A = this chain, B = another copy of it.
Amino acid sequence: MQDTDLKAVREKIRAGEHPGPTSGLASGHVQTNLVVLPEDYAFDFLKFCIRNPKPCPILEVTDEGSPSAPVMAPEADLRTDVPKYRVYEAGELVDEPPDIRGYWEDDLVSFLIGCSFTFETALLAAGLRLTHQDQSKNVPMYVTDRECVPSGPFSGPMVVSMRPYKPDEIPAAVSVSGRYPAMHGAPVHIGEPSALGVKDLDHPEFGEAVTIGEDETPVFWACGVTPQAVALQARPPLMITHSPGHMFITDRRNAEYEV
């Protein structure tokens, strides 16, 4: 929880000495999704996020061409302080570099979007398990049949993440995650996957399937993969994101976003 820890972690990432995922790093600090787009796409993308706040909770938008995030992390550099990036050209993945200074353009706008790590930390603190962690998997994510409200070239279905819980754990899972509306908040769907357009829990579109106990019910949260998937479909000439699990670590604390 110390800021010294945050500083040390950020320096290591910036120096390329921590190429791995960020889960558990600089504990207590908010980690975010990163989406970087040319200015021509920025206003429509921001409107898309505002129209779909459950999957796309916007925490910060930078000035055009600026690599700094004055609200969330004034001293960070968005071009170097994520351990691994993904670079897409016209919707195709072309690189997965540890730093994006070579791709930077003066017209790029960066979006920091809330991430499930914050509510997962709170679920653990409340004594609830995270099945995907217990099974050493990435959380399973599914494409639903719920269309997001479109904006300009951005449209597509909501993506959800799934964590199974026992009937008597579900109320706490709802209320604990619900205290973080800026980090996806409460679940969007509890139970019957087909009612959400999810046909096969064993074959998630992103992440990995987990084994669900017979006494467990799948609980679905709106997922930050939604805005990335939607932005990719628009095939912008350049788009940069974090690589899954390799998040941007901010100065702000999870507790600041608790309602």
A residues with a Cβ closer than 8 A to B are 42-43, 46-47, 50-51, 58, 60-61, 63, 70-71, 149, 151-152, 178-179, 181-182, 185, 259
Query: Apart from A50-B61, A71-B149, A181-B259, what 20 extra A-B contacts exist at CB < 8 Å?
Result: A43-B43, A43-B46, A46-B46, A46-B47, A46-B50, A46-B61, A47-B61, A47-B63, A50-B58, A50-B60, A51-B70, A51-B71, A63-B151, A63-B152, A70-B149, A179-B259, A181-B181, A181-B182, A185-B259, A259-B259
Using CB atoms, name the residue of chain B closest to A112.
B50
CB-defined contacts of A185 to chain B, threshold 8 Å? 259
What is the total number of copies of this protein in its complex? 2
Question: 19 A-B contacts, Cβ less than 8 Å apart?
Answer: A42-B43, A43-B43, A46-B46, A46-B47, A46-B61, A47-B61, A50-B58, A51-B60, A51-B61, A51-B70, A63-B152, A70-B149, A71-B149, A178-B259, A179-B259, A181-B182, A181-B259, A185-B259, A259-B259
Distance of A178 from chain B, by nearest CB (Å)? 6
- Chain B residue at minimum C-beta to C-beta distance from A46: B46
Cα distance, A203 to B206, chains bound together (Å): 58
Indicate the member of A46, A47, A63 with the most B CB atoms within 10 Å: A47
Min Cβ gap A171→B in Å is 15
Cα–Cα, bound, A181→B57 (Å): 13
Residues of B within 8 A of A60 (CB): 50-51
Which residue of A61, A71, A179, A182 has the most chain B CB atoms within 10 A of its CB atom?
Answer: A61
CB distance from A237 to the nearest CB of B (A): 19
Q: CA of A178 to CA of B182 in the docked complex: distance in angstroms?
A: 14
